[in-house]
Each structure stands twice: as C-alpha cells, then as structure tokens.
Amino acid sequence: MAQLLGDIPPYDKLEHLLPRLKEWGYIGIQIPSWDARVFDLDQAAESSTYCEDLLGVLHQHGIQLIEIAAYLQGQIMAIHPVYERLFQAFFPRGLTRQQQYEWASEQLVKCIKASVHLGTTHISVLSGGLAWPYLYPWPQRSNGLIEEAFQELVRRWQPVLDLAADHGMTFGFELHPGSDLFDGATYQRFLELTDNHPAACLTFDPSHFLLQQLDYLDFIRRFADRIKAFHVKDAEFNPDGLTGVYGGYLDWKNRAGRFRSLGDGQVNFKRIFSLLTEHQFEGWAILEWECCVKSLEQGAKEGAPFIKRHLIEPSSKSFDDFAASPTDRQLNLKMLGLD
C-alpha cells in the first residue's frame, strides 16, 4: 500500500484508506514499516498492545494483515557511496556509513519483533548493494571485486537472517535493480554463501524480470520452494532503434521497459498463477501498482478483480479418475507379459 499513501484524505491515514480498499475488493494489506502515517515501528516492536489495536482496526474493516514490508531499510543494509545522497531520504541524516548499516540492521530487528507481535511470518525487503555500479564489465572488473561485495553483503545480513530463523520467519528478497540481488544468478550466489539459509527467501516480482528479459516462468520452476510472497505487478518491453534494456537515460514514459497497471502490460499472469499453484504456493498475491500511463486510483480499483480472476483453486483429484480401473501387481505383470 506504499504507493497509495499521500497527504490528502483518504490516502493520509489507515482509518481513512481501509474503507476504500474494502470497497475495491481487497482482503489484505502489506504495511510499509517506514511510513509513520500508518505504522509506528518502534511501538510495534515493543508493545503487543499497540499491535493488537492495529489488528483490531484492520478487523473492523474486514482486512487482514499480510505482512510488514521493509524495502527501504533493506536497501540501506549496503549502499555504494555513489548512491549515498540519492538514498538519503531513506535513513536519518548525519550517519557515517557504518552507522547507516547499523541503523538499517536495527530496523530489521524491530521488524522481526513487530512481526512476532502481529503474528506474521514474512518480511519483504531489498538486499542493498555494493557491486551494482560495476554491473557492466567495462572497464574490466578487478579479480575478486564481486566476490568481496557478496561476502560483505552476507556478513551484514547473516545476523538478521539468523534472528528471523530463530523466530520461524523469512525475509523475502525482491530481486530489484539497484540491489546486488537482482536476478536468479545473484540470488543463487547469495544463497550459496549463506549455506542455503532457511530465512533467505523471495518475494517474487515478475515485472523486474520482464524488463531485463529474464525468463520469469523458469525462475519459478528453479526457486519455487523459496517464494513466500508474490507481487502482482505488470510491465512491458518494447525496444526500438533508439533504446532497449538500458533505457537511454529516458524518463519512464519513453523507456522501452515500463511498469504498467495490471492487464496493460506483457506479463503472462495466467502461466504464473498456474505454475505457482502447481508448486503449491501458499502465500499472498499482493498488488504492487506502478504505471506511467494510467491513474493510481483506476489501477487500484482494477487490481483486486484482476487478481481474483487469476486465482486458481487446486484440483483435489485427477481429471481422468472416471476412467480408472482397479489394479494389482499380478495384473500389472500380466499386462507387461511378465506373468
């Protein structure tokens, strides 16, 4: 719900926004842990009463809490100095680089404590990144540069991953540009360096994969057991003679790759929902809306019905059970000519 929040009613407070969300057909929300307009992370981490009151407000409006999200704090776990000023809005001013990481780590610890009070078991995050400026190997990268970056990233994340696992929780890394975990290869590298840590899981978002032309369906097949949440977010990629994956420094409206409202892009949601069902995904399908064409309110109104149309009730029996016949080993041997 982070994209919906603003300073004008009904988008300024949770109590104002919940009736609108219910009217549009939503049954759950992912609350941004950093936005004081709707959530007090310090109180939630320390006070079960605060969390009970929050859940009570949601219940009054027929809305469930999916999870609290910590994308911004996750990004601050590792910032390359070149991005420090651009990310300044995400963390308190006046912190040294070491203090930035320590602040972010403390925030994630608070998210774990708050989730215990709220009864949720998953926290969606970004990984942060030290190696992102060296994404393209020109000039040639020095030997060991990427290895050092990932070892440091693991060192920073290991304590909070351990704490999450101790409480039966998972962090869901949204594989996102600007972070060192941005595709299947980088996530797999991180996972291996953490000895396949049980808390190092995924919040699956196909839109970022489409924009980098990654096979998001094969990604599901490879990492289905790690996907704990699903961002239902659309995108399109229309390259021409001027711009492709890199975007040409153009604004969002003129890039080849653009985020779109659900149903207006190119993501194959029918196959995604089918694959997730086949792999027994039990998490939430969460609307994330970003679009440079359609209005926020129209996109939000269309989101819940779109998701509902794609939900699949798993089959409890085989479609050809009507033709089944009783068998035993002796009959099987006869049928194979082995009697």
Asked whether the whole model's pTM tops 0.85, one would answer yes
- Beta pairing partners, 201: 172
Please say if the pLDDT value at position 241 is more than 80: yes
CATH number, position 233: 3.20.20.150
Picking from 157, 69, 75, 160, the residue whose alpha carbon sits closest to that of residue 120 is 69
Average pLDDT, stretch 279-304?
A: 96
Number of folded domains that form the chain: 1
Q: What is the pLDDT of residues 165-181, one digit of tens each?
A: 999 999 999 999 999 99
Which residue, chain included where needed, has tokens 């469930």? 64
pLDDT of residue 333: 87
Please say if the pLDDT value at position 136 is more than 70: yes
Q: What is the pLDDT of residues 48-70, one digit of tens each?
A: 999 999 999 999 999 999 999 99
Domain encompassing residue 57: 2-335
Please say if the pLDDT value at position 315 is more than 90: no
pLDDT of residue 323: 67
| Greater pLDDT, 8 or 120 | 120
What is the average pLDDT score of the chain? 96
Are 210 and 257 within 8 A, CB to CB? yes
Query: How wide is the angle at C-alpha 209 spanned by C-alphas 111 and 216, nearest 5°?
Result: 100
Please say if the pLDDT value at position 223 is more than 80: yes
Q: What is the pLDDT of residues 193-207, one digit of tens each?
A: 999 999 999 999 999
Picking from 7, 24, 37, 19, the residue whose alpha carbon sits closest to that of residue 297 is 24
183 token code pair: 């595709």
pLDDT of residue 200: 98
